[in-house]
Amino acid sequence: MTKALMVGVFGARGTGKNAWTMQQLATARPPRLVVWDHKHDPTMATLGEGFTDLGACVRAMRGKRFTLRYMPDHGADVAAQFDLFCRACFLVGNLCMVVDELPEVTKANRAPAAWRQCVNVGRLYRGADGVERSLVIFGLGQRPSECDKSFMNNLDVLHTGRVAQATDARTLADLLNVDHRELMRLPDLHWIERRAGQAEPLRGVLTFRKKVDRSSAQKPTP
Ligand SMILES: Nc1ncnc2c1ncn2[C@@H]1O[C@H](COP(=O)(O)OP(=O)(O)O)[C@@H](O)[C@H]1O
Ligand SMILES: [Mg+2]
């Protein structure tokens, strides 16, 4: 994940968006990672340091290496929190940002300015100090039609599980070079993806490593 990348992860609820993203992060181990954990997702609870205070989360980005997970306050202005989150990621730079439930904070025709800046300029830019920066961005969502267009049109990696709506399936099928009906029939945890420069899509199934059952392993032998 050294190259600046933009990754779109789609699929209906429970198809494996978060699980696949967690596996990608476990493999790539980005030294600087910031996560917008929109719904305080238990499957991400093991991911780095969790913050409910955005100021504290932003201050923690001063470090050289960090894994930070911000859980927005849904009782306050979420758009303002996302704006600050994106501005901080852009200013700090050279990090991997993950935004879960992207359609909750962006709309097809109304991307917040700070998010748009991350998406449009994040590949390579210079900060006020003249130092080069870049961003790796993962955006997760159930429906591509609800994600902003600059994100959809700039993806280096498009990864999807099953989608429920034919309109979404057609949009993704065009980008993936597959039949949209296949996307509507994928079982949970099955995925199709296409990386920039690859003509043919890849297909796969998410698997999980079995946990060692320590309770039975530690049982004393009679
Ligand atoms: N580490 C894991 N081990 C086993 N099953 C998992 C693990 N992580 C997620 N799952 C299962 O994978 C499925 C997809 O979950 P998730 O990735 O959260 O879906 P989505 O983000 O698309 O809604 C769920 O049924 C979940 O229980
Ligand atoms: Mg999810």
Residue 161 — pLDDT band, cuts 50, 70, 90?
very high
pLDDT score recorded for residue 103: 94
Ligand closest to the CA atom of residue 205: 1
What residue numbers bound the domain in which 87 lies? 6-217
> Is pLDDT above 80 for 220?
no
User: What are the pLDDT digits (tens) for 26-54?
Assistant: 999 999 999 999 999 999 999 999 999 99
Tell how far the Cα of 3 is from the centroid of ligand 2, in angstroms. Answer: 25
- Residue 67: inside a domain, yes or no? yes
pLDDT score recorded for residue 199: 85
Atom in ligand 1 nearest the alpha carbon of residue 16: 17
Ligand 1 close to Cβ of residue 18 (< 6 A): yes
Give how many domains the chain has, as a whole number.
1
Ligand 1 close to Cβ of residue 162 (< 6 A): no
- Residue 209: inside a domain, yes or no? yes
- Residue 222: inside a domain, yes or no? no
Tell how far the Cα of 15 is from the centroid of ligand 1, in angstroms. Answer: 7
Ligand 1 close to Cβ of residue 200 (< 6 A): no
Tell how far the Cα of 206 is from the centroid of ligand 1, in angstroms. Answer: 9
User: What are the pLDDT digits (tens) for 131-150?
Assistant: 999 999 999 999 999 998 88
Residue 214 — pLDDT band, cuts 50, 70, 90?
low
- Residue 58: inside a domain, yes or no? yes
CATH number at residue 119: 3.40.50.300
Ligand 1 close to Cβ of residue 43 (< 6 A): yes
User: What are the pLDDT digits (tens) for 105-123?
Assistant: 998 788 899 999 999 999 9
Burial class (CB in 10 A: 0-12, 13-18, 19+), 61: middle
- Residue 27: inside a domain, yes or no? yes
- Which DSSP string corresponds to 156-218? SEEEE---S-HHHHHHHHHHHTS-HHHHHHPPTTEEEEEETT-SSPEEEE---PPPP-HHHHT
Q: Of 15, 43, 98, 100, which is best to mutate to test ligand 1, by the most ligand atoms within 8 angstroms of its C-beta?
A: 43
- Residue 136: inside a domain, yes or no? yes
**Cβ–Cβ under 8 Å, residues 117 and 90:** yes
C-beta neighbour count of 24 within 10 angstroms: 18
**pTM attached to this predicted model:** 0.92
- Residue 16: inside a domain, yes or no? yes
- Residue 96: inside a domain, yes or no? yes
